[in-house]
Structure 1
Amino acid sequence: MAEVTFPPPFTRPDGVADRLRQTGYAVLSPADVAVWSGCRLADLQALAADWAALPPDDFLKDGGRYRRRRHACFEVVQGDVVQVPHRAHWQPLEYNALHGGMERWFAPMTPETVAQPAWTQLLAALAVLSDAVFAGAEAPVRWFVEAHQFRIDTTDGIGRPTPEGAHRDGVDLVAVFLVAREGVKGGETRVFEAAGPAGQRFTLSEPWSLMLLDDARMIHETTPIQPLVPGGYRDTLVVTCRRGSFQGADGVAQQSAGQVATTP
């Protein structure tokens, strides 16, 4: 039986904030990601080389070997992007029943990738959007940003982009960029209202297409991938923006420090 796929419901760049407010999610084509972020598409594509050397994720609790990743954290305010010292990724069990409640120390993103102007432009654009959609009269606010590079491969026959299932992340904004998709089937994106029946399913297939989510309103997942040819894989960049602090045991201290630092 042939695989049935549904195209993404793309939004124009000038309508992203309104779409997020109205429906809780928005999807941009690669060309429109370039317009929206102010990056040339060629510069975004140049970032993708880093995904070929991601180290294994040693924290998978389902016994799989299909996920590779790197992680980095930043603070962004008024377009000023500052990388913070490397820290563990932490989520409460409320949001991640499989891997929540534990500190996961992933390999850091490489300095060469973080130094690229396109990288800074992407994070700044996400912070501007977060100000517009979530901060209201308080904008601009300080955004605590986590970035995750993922490669899901099919070495063992199946790869799970979201082994925790349909979930939220405990942040304000979730951005999922498709970086590459080679020799696989599956990988359908599904978004649902957290407090309602409405949902949407579609497949991101073009490198640097982007899905944006209001995390408080939407639950999301991606279905498993299977190989069409040996060595098939799916690469993504997931970036989250959160007000107040990073998630973790030291979140209160971070929030207090941020408030002191921004007090006139």
Structure 2
Amino acid sequence: MTTSPPFAHFGPDVLHAALGALPARAVEEFTGSWNDLPADAHLGTDTPYRFRRYGLFRIHPDRLERLPHTAFFQDKSVNKVHGGVERLFAPLAGAVAGGEVLRTVVHTLRRHLPGPRAGMDTCGVHQIRVTATTRAEGHPAPEGIHRDGHCYVAQVLIRREDVRGAESCLYDLRRRPVHRALLTTPLETIVLDDRRLLHGVSPVRPAPGAASGVRDMMLVDFFTAGKRPLPA
């Protein structure tokens, strides 16, 4: 029996094509919403470098059903830094959560999952901005090499400006690297099977000559309703 590859890495053309039928203004407003992310209160640093919002959805064939806002939880076994803690992030803005752009992106990503899609009827959507200055680097994944504790995870680049670093690396379950990539073009995407791979991202630093830099990402976790990790 042939096993499908545990990840897919594709350029911006996939999401560009899907979003092409929508008004350009709607897409611009969607990507512009990353300018309104509050600081992540769970970092434990004096100066915030990560900003985020989160939302939970049931996936229907023609729409996304927004579920009640809840804390994001990961087990200690998959996140040794923040695992075992209910992290309550700010909710997605209404225009983002209820917009056609998000619906289109989620449905497109679901069609590109690197494995069976049956039962993948729920998703968590994270809007994340990581900043870096000449005085402090940003850490997209302070937990290091890890799993997220879901079935599939999609990583979509929204913006990369005046930064270096932030190389994505995928590993097999023995921590042997299987893929390295520097996401550089908006809407470039990696979708991975979180049950078969570990992943990590190197720190973000300002590009040469820049005082600061910004990296915006959208992460979408896919899983089956009722089987997401719950607080102990």
Counterpart of 1:146 in structure 2 is 124
User: 1:81-122 deviations in whole A, cap 9, x for unaligned?
Assistant: 100011000000011000000101100010011222111111
More helix by percentage: 1
Structure 2 matches for 1:97-246, cutoff 5 A? 97-130=80-113, 133-135=115-117, 139=118, 141=119, 143-155=121-133, 156-195=135-174, 197-228=176-207, 229-245=210-226, 246=228
What is the Cα deviation at residue 248 of structure 1? 1.4
Structure 2 matches for 1:53-132, cutoff 5 A? 53-61=36-44, 65-130=48-113
Q: Are the counterparts in 2 of residues 134 and 172 from structure 1 also a CA contact under 8 Å?
A: no
Distance in 1 separating the partners of 2:51 and 2:161:
15
Distance in 2 separating the partners of 1:194 and 1:79:
36
Secondary structure (helix, strand or coil) at the match of 2:4 reads helix
Counterpart of 1:50 in structure 2 is 33
Aligned residues: percent identity? 29
Judged with a 3 Å threshold, the aligned counterparts in structure 2 of structure 1 residues 23 and 195 are, in CA distance, closer, same or farther, namely farther
Unaligned runs of at least 5 residues, structure 2: none
The number of aligned residues is 224
What is the Cα deviation at residue 208 of structure 1? 0.9
| TM-score, normalisation: structure 1 | 0.78
| TM-score, normalisation: structure 2 | 0.88
Distance in 1 separating the partners of 2:33 and 2:61:
28
Unaligned runs of at least 5 residues, structure 1: 1-17, 251-264
